[in-house]
Amino acid sequence: DAMVIQNPRYQVTQFGKPVTLSCSQTLNHNVMYWYQQKSSQAPKLLFHYYDKDFNNEADTPDNFQSRRPNTSFCFLDIRSPGLGDAAMYLCATGRGGRVYSNQPQHFGDGTRLSIL
């Protein structure tokens, strides 16, 4: 089945220790998104790729970086995680142009990140 896969489902890291979350898709969608969601809050967009074109949200901390080596894969790197970065991280894909498409997004199952 075509889908969006995130690994790992649960990640525990130490304060300040870099961590990488991964996302892969078989939908062949040209846009990939990373969201951060904390308990009882709305998903917050961190950045998105339109093909290889990286688009950062203005309020995304510099601590968060992303890579998209090809259409199928996208990575979220947190360079020095702080306690406030503990959250669910959601990857989503969609079809669209350089601005947000009116097409819906398809989410992976998420990675729950804990910081010790």
Partner 1 sequence: QKEVEQNSGPLSVPEGAIASLNCTYSDRGSQSFFWYRQYSGKSPELIMFIYSNGDKEDGRFTAQLNKASQYVSLLIRDSQPSDSATYLCAVIGSSASKIIFGSGTRLSIRP
List residues binding partner 1 (CB under 8 A): 40-43, 45, 57, 88, 90, 99-102, 104-110, 112
To partner 1, the closest distance from the beta carbon of 16 in angstroms equals 26
To partner 1, the closest distance from the beta carbon of 5 in angstroms equals 11
* Nearer residue to partner 1 within complex by CB, 73 or 107: 107
To partner 1, the closest distance from the beta carbon of 101 in angstroms equals 8
CA distances from 108 to 7, 17, 41, 58, 94 (A): 9, 24, 18, 24, 12
Residues 6 or more apart in contact with residue 80 via CB below 8 angstroms: 16, 17, 18, 63
* Nearer residue to partner 1 within complex by CB, 83 or 99: 99
* Nearer residue to partner 1 within complex by CB, 65 or 109: 109
